[in-house]
Structure 1
Amino acid sequence: MTGWRLLLTRPADESAALSDLLAGQGIFSSTLPLLDIVPIPASDTMRDVIRALDRYCAAIVVSKPAARICVDLVERFGSPAPFVKWFSVGAATAQILEGHGLDVSFPEGGDDSEALLELAALREAITRPDPRVLILRGEGGRELLAERLRERGASVEYLELYRRELPQYPPAALPDLIEAEHLNALVVSSGQGFEHLHQLAGDAWPQLARLPLFVPSPRVAELAQAAGALTVVDCRGASAAALLTALREHPEPVL
């Protein structure tokens, strides 16, 4: 797969780990982080929700940043909550929660909302009378997950733990990097990551829209296609494994 030259746009630490993994597979990548994770200061609302976790039949943690902030809040404000069942969208998020003693269920066949919704343990959790589900996330996102759970009779609440901001870059930083590194594909890990990519591209977007764009879900694929991206590849997950599978299945660029 040495034909690929990828632009990675995750936060710096995540992009560094992904870049190392890709290099081990003979894939070149360059990084321009398009998401700064900014924790929301702990509030009385956060404290009250964490202290009352037992009123929920399921607590769903949707990302690694949410997991890191969540375990900190649980350690600071939590109390034993034997009835709540913990879930995550992917294995990497689950690993963070499990490292702090939480028993977490997650789909092994995918790391998106659709895969989680098919998980038997989640289906069972919301069979409780008057099921209430807590989704721990950043500002915005995972609306499909909440919508489907409500269709199944659950009451869904959010606890927003962080915001995603676009780092400050000079004008033309994005197209200049793509040209200088001879990059031939773009990778985003979320809807907001794509929105920041689109914003930063500016007048160069019509040219960048011709490059293959690897995205984590059908929802992000729809956003990209609506903005004019010509070749959008749905990896069905944001994990490194999902990206590698998509790269293997998609024709390599001709050098």
Structure 2
Amino acid sequence: MSGWRLLLTRPADESAALSDVLAEAGIFSSSLPLLEIEAVPLSETMRQVIRGLDRYCAIIVVSKPAARIAVELLTNYWPHLPNPKWFSVGAATAQILDDHGLSVCFPTEGDDSEALLELASLREAVARPDPRVLIMRGEGGREWLAERLRELGASVEYLELYRRNVPVYPSATLPERIKAERLNGLVVSSGQGFEHLHQLAGAAWAQLAQLPLFVPSPRVAELARAAGAQTVVDCRGASAAALLTALREHPEPVL
């Protein structure tokens, strides 16, 4: 058995899936979802974007929730799948799209915006005259990726498919959970997830900031360090495989 005892903060269904993978590796985890996913009601502007997907040279889907909502919309609005190049930040998101007949490019070394931007196929897609790129995402996020694509000459638009809500917990829930279950590591999957963790910790943050914190990207790592986290581990991705690799490379706590 591993010495790690981790707090997972993803939405409930994603935490459950990650917990199963960790359990197979002998790692204990406890779930306290700090994000809830709510689909955004479709506006006429959103419908126009969906109907015009073939206008884009590249469509980037940045998360599993975005992929799930996107494939449902494609089913409703496209009897034949549109033909732009599809990209995703990670393999799990790509699999959702692939299961619905879309051919998706994604980075195999790291599953973050930085790795995606290094893909030759993405750079080729935006090398055409007047390239238009669509990023399917939740409300807010991935601004760095859009900025870099604009530097490459692309026009970037967003299709925001969902919003992330904060579950309501009693103020002492987080420190009490960590103490009761002897948790010795924290896992967040996004910058917003970290912000919610920091907010929920309240006055206990100074103590919790001493625990190893596993984050998905350099951007979130920088955010966590700026808030006072003492040991931040950049997993270079939000997948279970990325987390397991980071756990193996970081010294286990002594129980």
Tell me if TM exceeds 0.5: yes
Deviations 1:36-70, CA, capped at 9 Å, x for gaps: 00110111111100110111100000000000111
Provide the rounded CA distance (Å) in 2 between the counterparts of 1:107 and 1:152. Answer: 19
Provide the rounded CA distance (Å) in 1 between the counterparts of 2:154 and 2:80. Answer: 23
Deviations 1:184-231, CA, capped at 9 Å, x for gaps: 010000000000000100111000000000000000001100111010
Compute the displacement of 1:120 (Å): 1.2
Q: Equivalent residue of 1:26, what SS?
A: coil
Q: Equivalent residue of 1:17, what SS?
A: helix
Question: What residue is the counterpart of 2:174 in the other structure?
Answer: 174
Question: What residue is the counterpart of 2:14 in the other structure?
Answer: 14
Contact 2:138–2:161 (CA under 8 A) maintained in structure 1: yes
Compute the displacement of 1:78 (Å): 2.9
Normalised TM-score (structure 2): 0.97
Provide the rounded CA distance (Å) in 2 between the counterparts of 1:154 and 1:83. Answer: 18
Long gaps (5+) in structure 2? none
Contact 1:47–1:73 (CA under 8 A) maintained in structure 2: no
Question: What residue is the counterpart of 1:2 in the other structure?
Answer: 2
Contact 1:85–1:104 (CA under 8 A) maintained in structure 2: yes
Identity of counterpart residues, as a percentage?
79
Question: Which amino acid in the other structure matches residue 164 of structure 1?
Answer: R
Paired positions, count: 255
Compute the displacement of 1:77 (Å): 1.9
Question: What residue is the counterpart of 1:143 in the other structure?
Answer: 143
Question: What residue is the counterpart of 1:184 in the other structure?
Answer: 184
Question: What residue is the counterpart of 1:41 in the other structure?
Answer: 41
Change over 3 Å in CA distance of 1:82–1:68 after alignment to 2: closer
- Asked if residue 157 in structure 1 is aligned to residue 163 in structure 2, the reply is no
Question: What residue is the counterpart of 1:124 in the other structure?
Answer: 124
Q: Equivalent residue of 1:176, what SS?
A: helix
Provide the rounded CA distance (Å) in 1 between the counterparts of 2:202 and 2:79. Answer: 48
Provide the rounded CA distance (Å) in 2 between the counterparts of 1:81 and 1:243. Answer: 33
Contact 2:135–2:157 (CA under 8 A) maintained in structure 1: yes
Long gaps (5+) in structure 1? none
Compute the displacement of 1:82 (Å): 4.8
Question: Which amino acid in the other structure matches residue 60 of structure 1?
Answer: I
Question: What residue is the counterpart of 2:25 in the other structure?
Answer: 25
Compute the displacement of 1:234 (Å): 0.3
Report the aligned-residue RMSD.
Answer: 1.1
Question: What residue is the counterpart of 1:107 in the other structure?
Answer: 107
Compute the displacement of 1:22 (Å): 0.6
Provide the rounded CA distance (Å) in 1 between the counterparts of 2:76 and 2:168. Answer: 33
Contact 2:53–2:82 (CA under 8 A) maintained in structure 1: no
Compute the displacement of 1:79 (Å): 5.7
Question: What residue is the counterpart of 1:55 in the other structure?
Answer: 55
Provide the rounded CA distance (Å) in 2 between the counterparts of 1:164 and 1:241. Answer: 24
Change over 3 Å in CA distance of 1:144–1:79 after alignment to 2: farther
Compute the displacement of 1:127 (Å): 1.2
Contact 1:106–1:116 (CA under 8 A) maintained in structure 2: yes
Provide the rounded CA distance (Å) in 2 between the counterparts of 1:164 and 1:82. Answer: 28
Contact 1:53–1:81 (CA under 8 A) maintained in structure 2: no
Question: Which amino acid in the other structure matches residue 43 of structure 1?
Answer: S
Provide the rounded CA distance (Å) in 2 between the counterparts of 1:193 and 1:182. Answer: 21
Question: What residue is the counterpart of 2:250 in the other structure?
Answer: 250
Question: What residue is the counterpart of 1:234 in the other structure?
Answer: 234
Question: Which amino acid in the other structure matches residue 93 of structure 2?
Answer: T
Q: Equivalent residue of 2:93, what SS?
A: helix
Provide the rounded CA distance (Å) in 1 between the counterparts of 2:167 and 2:159. Answer: 24
Contact 1:134–1:156 (CA under 8 A) maintained in structure 2: yes
Compute the displacement of 1:81 (Å): 6.0
Question: What residue is the counterpart of 1:197 in the other structure?
Answer: 197
- Map 1:208-223 → 2, pairs under 5 A: 208-223=208-223
Compute the displacement of 1:87 (Å): 0.5
Compute the displacement of 1:83 (Å): 4.2
Contact 1:22–1:28 (CA under 8 A) maintained in structure 2: yes
